[in-house]
Structure 1
Amino acid sequence: MRVISCIVTAHNLWLVFLAAFVCVSGSWITLNLLRRAERTYGLQRGGWIFLTGVAAGASIWCTHFIAMLAYEVGAPVTFDPILTMASFLLAVAGSAGGVAIALSRLPRIAPELGGAVVGLAITAMHYTGMMAYHVDGIVEWDMSYVFASVVLSVTLAAAAINQAIRRPWRYWSLTALVLFVLAVVLLHFTAMTAVSVTPLATGDGLADSYALKAMAVAVAGGWLLVIGTGIASYMIDERASQESIQKLQHMALNDLLTGLPNRSSFNDYLDRALEHAKEDSAKLAVIGIDLDRFKEINDLRGHKAGDQALKAIGRRLLRVIKDGEFVARVGGDEFAAAKRFQNQSELLDFVARLEKFLFEPIRIDDFETVTGASIGVAVYPDDGDDQERLISNADLAMYRAKADIGRAVCFYESKMDEAARARHTLAQDLRRAVELDQLDLHYQVQTSVQTGEVCGYEVLVRWNHPERGSVPPSEFIPIAEESGTILVIGEWVMRNACREAATWSKPYKIAVNLSPVQFAHADLAKLVHSILLETGLSPSRLELEITESTIIADKTRTLHVLRQIRALGVTIAIDDFGTGYSSLDTLRSFPFDKIKLDRSFMNEVDDSIQAKAIVRAVLTLGKSLDIPVLAEGVETNHQLEILRIEGCDEAQGFFLGRPKPVGQIFQVEQMADEELASPFSGRVPPQRMRRR
């Protein structure tokens, strides 16, 4: 009651209200600057701590000074300018220090400790200001009120900073503001209650009340300038932050080259569009677009021309869309679109517009080109009810359009596209087959036609899929070549085959097939050399088999690589001979060490005179060129007899031995050797032994 009485009876209430306005608004600005400082780091945080300290100190000091001027003491009053300035500096420095402590990496009490320092700064400012306040009278202090003012200021300031930092949401923001205002106000008026003044002079020596009011207004004006600086800094930084955020959001959601939305934006749009389609029982089409001849532009004209083409296409796609339609760039030369529709004609119109714009000529500098595109369409809910399924099905339809030269647009068809999906899934599983140890090596024997002796073994790879079981090579090798996985598989096969063969007791030769992809993308000569050194296998025991298609792809490079490999001591065989378009020219260009006659001729040699004539011609050609010939696909004894009569060198086929793991092969050979060595058994002809 004494404090309230002091406020009501000993103060000019208009100036008290002015001080209250300064205190509340200044505290609000201070807390907002504090939160901005909390969200920054390094030098930027230091700048915001300084601005927070200035705003807090100016608000506290101006509140105090205006409230001091509102105090009607009834005696002449003067102010010591040095102590008055010192009180201002104490307020600013103490507030800045407290904020710095509150935002430091000190233990969990940092906000409370920083708030307490701010409370002490308020106290120091006030009592330094009171020292600067000179009145012509007897001044007496009630120390209990002085102590109470200090405790109130420190406690309330610590609580205010705690609420501002630890609980920055809206409700607690108001709490922090109230606590901070109370810390300033209660300190001042409790401290003013502690003082009593007995005037020594009256009348002529009284200070001019109008001058004091004018001084109070001037102080408030100065405070407005200081606070205005803080507000302007806050607003400028807020504007810059918003612009930066908007720019970053635009960069995150849009393609920088074309200006179209990117994959992330497309996915967000699809999520929303699917929700609306489900609510409205509407249909939604997802469209995948892949440019057909974009790579040609890049290769022939450079990447700059490619970028110009993409920009032109982006501008066209932006022009083509209407309400309920969305287009985005989701990859290098891949785009995606979506369309909400009720009638099929609406979708067909949109697809037709896309096709028209994508097939229009594009002029880049001094040349004109048409990129063209393959377009795949999947529709909700017919072709899928979630985003991932619809995009996947649209891609499958797009790949079908790309494979069909005569069609630019394909709609998803489950029967046709599910086979492609299964193939794609198998390709993904195949990429992990080596690292998951799912591949095995099998060996098929190659024997001398005349003696039946083992000449070597062809290495064949087998894939044991964890769910599908044994996958035949005819199914997964083409997939491996298409996906590029054949590079890893081919290296694994050669390395492991050489390692196993190096441990055999007999120096049989091993034949390893090479894919055309390996010639195009791998340094084969270097790879073969390193594997031979690593495994210790003699180069003469390794034979590499290639097909004519390998040579045709890049004849000069392939023959150069073959000569490098042959220089290592490795032999080269031409596989599937007789089925290519340039067999004789191939034999003339490179001296192969072996000719492998394609199995298709052996399948018909029993019944076809033409097949038998071709076999005889190839064998004659081999003898003329002094190149041994191996016949593949020997399935019967009659076929083997024909080869023996015609003078074939070697043979391979199920009649002579099926592909088996290396352990089974040598187990059979050991049993056969023991049978021959037994004095109680008759000698079995080599051919019969191999058949068994």
Structure 2
Amino acid sequence: MTSALSRLRGRFDKRQSSDQLSERVRRLLVTTLYAQPSSLAIGALCIICAASVSAWIADMPELYVAAAVLTVIATARVAAALALDAEAEGNSTATLELVYEIGAFSFALALGCTAAFVIIDGSSTQVEVLMVCNAVGYGIGVSARNAGRLTIAMGQLCLTCVPIAIACFWTAKPGFITLGVTILLLIPAMISICGNIFTVLRDSIASAETSARLADKMQVLARTDVVTGLANRAGLNHAMVETMMGVDEKSRLALIWVDLDRFKEVNDLLGHPVGDRVLNGVAKRLREVSPEGSTVARFGGDEFIIFCPINNRQDAERLASEIHAEIMRPFRIDGERLEVRASLGVSLLPENGNDADTLMQSADLALYHAKVGGRSRTCFYDSSMSRDLARRREIEDELRAAIQRDELSIYFQPIVDLETGRIKTFEALVRWFHPHKGELRPDEFIPVAEETGVIVTLGNWITAQAARVAATWPDDVTVAVNLSPLQIRAPGAALGIKSALREAGLDPRRLELEVTESLFIEDNHATAAFIEELSDIGVRFALDDFGTGYSSLGYINTFPFSKIKVDRSFVSGAQVGRKSDAIIRAVAEMGTTLGMDIVAEGLETIDQVQVVRDAGCNLGQGYYFSRAVPDYLAAMLLAQEREQDGRRASA
């Protein structure tokens, strides 16, 4: 019983869907009846002319009356076709079809009866041929024209031809009887032809409609992000183009670019399913806080864009603040509390651009400054950002060329034993003497090199040059080289260091690689593998700028550091005092216990040297001892030191 009901319900649903399709097809086919009223007028005019000529030839008042009736009906049909708008929703399909049927059937019946009358009268062969040929030709032609509505096509054909066939049989003449039989046989033949035409038309229209629906659906899918249901990049571009086409001089728009901070850690630690749920949660909050008329899109990865109308800059600032607050509200996923931070870049129309591409570039630059400035902040675009970008690109291009043209130089700053005053290590520092701009400070080009990836090439070059120079020094003097996190994570990073040592002929134990604490925040696995591989061959590692980043004693316990460098801010900074002295002393005591060297950076006066030495630091670096010097001066310092040692030994 249940199975039977299910089949019955399925048939009903299928029939209902088929009926809906048939109704849409019927509407379209009825519309085609009104598509070319000129064809109706031309056909009617030919028939009226034939009737009028027949009346003139036969001089029969009845034919004049018939011509007049045909003229009235044809005029009414053409007027109705012109007056009724088949595309208007107010005109129902049934009304349009009924009006057309009345006119078509009336004209066909009047024409058929006129031709039949001429046959029965038999007064003129010319008139018989003229009217019968026109009537039969009209019936065949109009049935093909109106095949989209099979009932109308067959009705017109029958009303035109059946009276003629009856008249032929009425005469009882063999020739007319044959004509009558031929006409009757013509009717089913035309019905078959028109039926085939109708089927083809109906199926073609149904297929086209289905294809159009699928195309619309595919277009929606192509513009929608599968994870969040927001617009994707293609959907955003489409919405922005449509919006920009409708803006006027008074329109104001904001483009807010949102980048989730450190979202990669969520995926790595909790898994991509949890990451997708976080993205869905962010998308929902963005939709809720965005004003009406906004386009909210997931631009890719952990980036979102809100493109929305605003009243003024204050309105954009308020919206950006609300977005920031919404994203920072903790998420609850499987009972776990998860906090997400975001950086925002904002550009405004018309202040920051009058087209979509310019707004995107401006918001991207603003986002970059928000991230460089410390993340979890909002930056509005300013024209100075473009100047900074142009400057960075110029430095990037010139830096690549400078490496090839050997415009860069390696300088060496000594690190001194605070007890003996002897040079223990030289730190290798890069200098750039531009042929036109003079000396460029490292803080100008090193950040650009890190942002653009040039730091990998630059870092390898520095290491190779420093190793080559250090190989000429006494065996007890080491060389220290700063490494960028990007350089360490580059493929084959450890292999590059090994190659530099091998080509220079430098003992790996004489190379110290200085890394900062920020290195361990991003990618602990790659860092651990790098440090382990080089430590195995004797390369030493130093923790640079200790106390200024994400300090953790866990780093010191996990990785084989042989040296800790106390940042200069604790030695010669503005906050130097009892607290900084206590910090230096604590670090020095820890280093002594662990058997590590403690270097105090930024020493400029004898008092500072005395303070850090009393605190327990065994090594010092700074202008008090020497600035960074070229390789030949570094060799001279070592030679002078060895000469003094020889004199002391002789004495």
1:459 paired with 2:428, answer: yes
Match of 1:86 in 2: none
- Calculate the TM-score normalised by the size of structure 2: 0.53
Sequence identity of aligned pairs in percent?
29
CA distance in 2, matches of 1:521, 1:460: 21
CA distance in 1, matches of 2:441, 2:204: 70
Q: How much does 1:542 deviate?
A: 5.7
1:330 paired with 2:299, answer: yes
The residue type paired with residue 133 of structure 2 is N
Gaps of 5+ in 2: 1-49, 51-125, 149-164, 166-171, 645-651
CA distance in 2, matches of 1:581, 1:361: 23
Match of 1:128 in 2: none
Match of 1:545 among 506, 513, 520: 513
Alignment of 1:145-224 (within 5 A): 204=174, 208-224=178-194
Match of 1:477 in 2: 446
Match of 1:12 in 2: 133
Q: Which secondary structure state, in structure 1, belongs to the residue aligned with residue 248 of structure 2?
A: helix
Q: Which secondary structure state, in structure 1, belongs to the residue aligned with residue 222 of structure 2?
A: helix
Match of 1:261 among 217, 231, 250: 231
Q: Which secondary structure state, in structure 2, belongs to the residue aligned with residue 208 of structure 1?
A: helix
Contact residue 518 and residue 549 of structure 2 kept, 8 A: no
CA distance in 2, matches of 1:655, 1:266: 60
1:135-157 per-residue CA deviation (whole Å, 9 max, x = no partner) reads xxxxxxxxxxxxxxxxxxxxxxx
CA distance in 1, matches of 2:564, 2:258: 47
Match of 2:222 in 1: 252
1:493 paired with 2:463, answer: no
Measured at CA, do residues 247 and 615 of structure 1 come closer, stay the same or move farther in structure 2, by a change above 3 Å? Answer: closer
CA distance in 1, matches of 2:548, 2:322: 47
1:182-229 per-residue CA deviation (whole Å, 9 max, x = no partner) reads xxxxxxxxxxxxxxxxxxxx9757762122112222222222233234
Q: How much does 1:454 deviate?
A: 9.5
CA distance in 1, matches of 2:131, 2:183: 15
Give the CA RMSD over aligned residues.
Answer: 6.4
Measured at CA, do residues 684 and 393 of structure 1 come closer, stay the same or move farther in structure 2, by a change above 3 Å? Answer: closer
1:236 paired with 2:203, answer: no
Q: How much does 1:338 deviate?
A: 3.6
CA distance in 2, matches of 1:473, 1:274: 43
Q: Which secondary structure state, in structure 2, belongs to the residue aligned with residue 12 of structure 1?
A: helix
The residue type paired with residue 135 of structure 2 is W
- Calculate the TM-score normalised by the size of structure 1: 0.50
CA distance in 1, matches of 2:341, 2:581: 50
Q: How much does 1:634 deviate?
A: 7.9
Q: How much does 1:334 deviate?
A: 3.2
1:567 paired with 2:533, answer: no
Match of 1:303 in 2: 272
Q: Which secondary structure state, in structure 2, belongs to the residue aligned with residue 330 of structure 1?
A: strand
CA distance in 1, matches of 2:396, 2:145: 68
Q: Which secondary structure state, in structure 1, belongs to the residue aligned with residue 428 of structure 2?
A: strand
Match of 2:410 among 430, 434, 443: 443
Alignment of 1:65-80 (within 5 A): none
Match of 1:381 among 342, 346, 350: 350
Q: How much does 1:477 deviate?
A: 3.3
Contact residue 494 and residue 534 of structure 2 kept, 8 A: yes
Measured at CA, do residues 233 and 25 of structure 1 come closer, stay the same or move farther in structure 2, by a change above 3 Å? Answer: same
CA distance in 2, matches of 1:616, 1:589: 22
Q: How much does 1:329 deviate?
A: 3.1
CA distance in 1, matches of 2:469, 2:310: 68
Match of 2:484 among 485, 494, 515: 515
1:114-135 per-residue CA deviation (whole Å, 9 max, x = no partner) reads xxxxxxxxxxxxxxxxxxxxxx
Measured at CA, do residues 11 and 532 of structure 1 come closer, stay the same or move farther in structure 2, by a change above 3 Å? Answer: farther
Match of 1:412 in 2: 380
CA distance in 1, matches of 2:331, 2:564: 52
Contact residue 630 and residue 650 of structure 1 kept, 8 A: yes
Contact residue 594 and residue 630 of structure 1 kept, 8 A: yes
Contact residue 397 and residue 413 of structure 1 kept, 8 A: yes
CA distance in 1, matches of 2:507, 2:625: 29
1:252-297 per-residue CA deviation (whole Å, 9 max, x = no partner) reads 3333333333334434444454554434x24333333445686676
Match of 2:196 in 1: 226
Match of 1:149 in 2: none
CA distance in 2, matches of 1:341, 1:580: 39
Q: Which secondary structure state, in structure 2, belongs to the residue aligned with residue 261 of structure 1?
A: coil
Measured at CA, do residues 652 and 445 of structure 1 come closer, stay the same or move farther in structure 2, by a change above 3 Å? Answer: farther
Q: How much does 1:246 deviate?
A: 1.0
Q: How much does 1:240 deviate?
A: 3.0
1:40-87 per-residue CA deviation (whole Å, 9 max, x = no partner) reads xxxxxxxxxxxxxxxxxxxxxxxxxxxxxxxx9xxxxxxxxxxxxxxx
Measured at CA, do residues 544 and 210 of structure 1 come closer, stay the same or move farther in structure 2, by a change above 3 Å? Answer: farther
Q: Which secondary structure state, in structure 2, belongs to the residue aligned with residue 260 of structure 1?
A: coil
Q: Which secondary structure state, in structure 1, belongs to the residue aligned with residue 300 of structure 2?
A: coil
Measured at CA, do residues 246 and 429 of structure 1 come closer, stay the same or move farther in structure 2, by a change above 3 Å? Answer: farther
Measured at CA, do residues 288 and 236 of structure 1 come closer, stay the same or move farther in structure 2, by a change above 3 Å? Answer: same
Measured at CA, do residues 302 and 496 of structure 1 come closer, stay the same or move farther in structure 2, by a change above 3 Å? Answer: closer
Contact residue 600 and residue 617 of structure 2 kept, 8 A: no
The residue type paired with residue 206 of structure 2 is I
1:340 paired with 2:309, answer: yes
Q: Which secondary structure state, in structure 1, belongs to the residue aligned with residue 198 of structure 2?
A: helix
CA distance in 2, matches of 1:336, 1:231: 46
Contact residue 396 and residue 420 of structure 1 kept, 8 A: yes
The residue type paired with residue 212 of structure 1 is T
Contact residue 377 and residue 411 of structure 1 kept, 8 A: yes
Count of aligned pairs between the two proteins: 484
CA distance in 2, matches of 1:10, 1:215: 20
Contact residue 598 and residue 631 of structure 1 kept, 8 A: yes
CA distance in 1, matches of 2:143, 2:432: 82
Q: How much does 1:620 deviate?
A: 12
CA distance in 1, matches of 2:278, 2:596: 54
Q: Which secondary structure state, in structure 2, belongs to the residue aligned with residue 278 of structure 1?
A: coil
Measured at CA, do residues 360 and 224 of structure 1 come closer, stay the same or move farther in structure 2, by a change above 3 Å? Answer: farther
CA distance in 1, matches of 2:253, 2:535: 60
CA distance in 1, matches of 2:400, 2:322: 47
Q: How much does 1:331 deviate?
A: 3.0
Contact residue 310 and residue 316 of structure 2 kept, 8 A: yes
Contact residue 287 and residue 375 of structure 1 kept, 8 A: yes
1:400-426 per-residue CA deviation (whole Å, 9 max, x = no partner) reads 777999997x57374xxx666666666
Match of 2:255 in 1: 286
CA distance in 1, matches of 2:251, 2:410: 59
1:224-247 per-residue CA deviation (whole Å, 9 max, x = no partner) reads 233234323422332233123212
CA distance in 1, matches of 2:437, 2:190: 84
CA distance in 1, matches of 2:411, 2:197: 91
Contact residue 345 and residue 363 of structure 2 kept, 8 A: yes
